[in-house]
Structure 1
Amino acid sequence: MLNAGIEATPAPVQVLEELTPDEERERHRLELKVERAFFEAGVALRELKEQRLYRSTHRSFEEYCYARFGYTRRRPYQLIEAAIVFENLCTNGTQNSETSDLHISDTKNSETNNLCTNGTQERAPIVERQVLPTSERQVRDLVNLEPEQQRQVWQQAVKQAEGKIPTGRIVRSVVEKIKHKSIHLASDYCFEGEVFFLQRLIGDEKKYNGCWAIAIEVENRLTVKAAVYDGALEVKQENMKPIDSQQTQAEVREIYERIRRLMECQLDPIDEAQIEFLCRRPWFTLRQKQVLSAMEAVYDICCDPVQAHQ
């Protein structure tokens, strides 16, 4: 029988009074609505935000959610994130949410139709139903995981909860175990001087996505300290896209040294734009190297004979 609870795990129930087949179907339909309430809220909030349907009465989405629903600043985003996780768990990466919704409904209807028709009319156990979350809190710790990791953690949490809907505390414990097992030092996957492209950066560092960087500190560290064209930043393994060509790595290191000297000057904005363009290149044409040499001449930066010849 479907669990409509929020965090509590229900105890086994006994049949006190039989429902008609129509009543069984109506009960299942309503239980599904209760189970998916937080998901529907997250989807609706996402649409309200993306379409900016709040703009007629409020300046921001956060102000609207507080005035209309009494949500704190973080709450609507928690529900939106939870809806994304729910969709991932619900679809298993192969179906859309509408298909999964139909699958669950069909499963319950078939179970209702399979009730025994003898004098006791015992209910057949619901064994095929996919166990899905019923509250935002149950999936909060899954938000920052990759989709496949989310599914793996949820499956382990369900198993730990003996096939029932796991509480948020159980899910968090599984996440913590996985994090503990997956801790690696930067030196396990990177070496000093390695060149790679940056990806999946967020916030202020998002501007570096697509740029190459060079590892400058990896020993006894959980993250890599990487040099970029205008400074340095800390990156994780998932932020690093490898460059297999050793020739490309050597060429990038050479170009970086020339750019580093240029960045110490008071550059014209057009030159800054040229440098940012070069820092996204996986290889360099003769013309691009000539432009770099021209900038070095303008800012009176001396090159060694090899670079000058290029």
Structure 2
Amino acid sequence: MMNKPPRKRKKATSGAFSGSEPPASSTNEDISQQVDPAIATITVTAVEVPELTEQEQSDRLHLERKVERAFFEAGKALAQLRDRRLYRSTHKTFEEYCRSRFGYTRMAATYKIAAATVMENLSTIGLQNAEITTDGLQPPQMSTIGLQNVEMSTSGLQILPTNERQVRPLVALEPEVQRTAWQQAVHEAGGKVPTGRIVKDVVQRIMERTKVPNTYQIGEVCQIIVKDNPELRGKGGCWAIISAVNEFSCTVETWNSEYTIGLQHLKSYNYLPAECQQVREISDRISRVYSSGLEESVQKFLEMLGKLNRAYLTDLEEKVLRVLESEYINEI
């Protein structure tokens, strides 16, 4: 009888395992002991953000103000270019110069200049310290904190406009009313810089309460009444030919510029249509000659012609103007 070979004994697997692969039961046991992902705590290493130094804080404020001053500086610069006629060596009119050099329409340049004037007006008082009425009906008692240097800031004592759209609706108002309207807009914006829409709505309500029917017509000749509008300083009595009739203001052309001004700054001459046409022709002639940069005494003469209380020139005035025109034509 042959002996059977001995059977190989199986290795015990209970309580221990060998190799890199754990048994299934052990794996299931580990999974069952894992933490619920919904309540797991994740450790994130915090990255320290250094605070701004005093110099960096100063630089930030300075740069922010430069951004905020952009439209203001542009308007002031355009006003200088216009008033000093610094374009006269290359362009006959300010309108042509703006379109050629900056791509601005006549209306766009006028609005930028007007917006800068309003900004300067708003910057003369501590607006945030002013008492603000809830309805804007009466001008409030305002703190008169004078500023030697116009600083546009949205913190501290003042809350001032930061772009042209916020200022544009105020152009048609008187300086004192501009301040009242802006304060009301700041109030409605919760003490922050208001949007152009908020400012426009405030101005609309003020104008509706004091609305004067705009009966002017395009081509009508008026006289400029300066009152206390700094933008019109030196233009008192000038011919103003209506070029656009707006709801609360008119856009007018003078012999050397264009303005959008409130109705309170205009007084019609009540000229007949033919007389209005004569004034326009004379005004155009003055503009062409004045662009040549003549001597101061000659310029004063031309400025005087642009303020006449009549729609015609005397024989002597006509002769002098023709002489100047001939000199100008010879120069170009």
Give the structure with the larger helix fraction. 1
The interval holding the TM-score normalised by the smaller chain is: 0.3 to 0.5
Q: Choose 1 or 2 for highest CA Rg.
A: 2
TM-score w.r.t. length of structure 2: 0.44
Query: What TM-score results when the alignment is normalised by the length of structure 1?
Result: 0.47
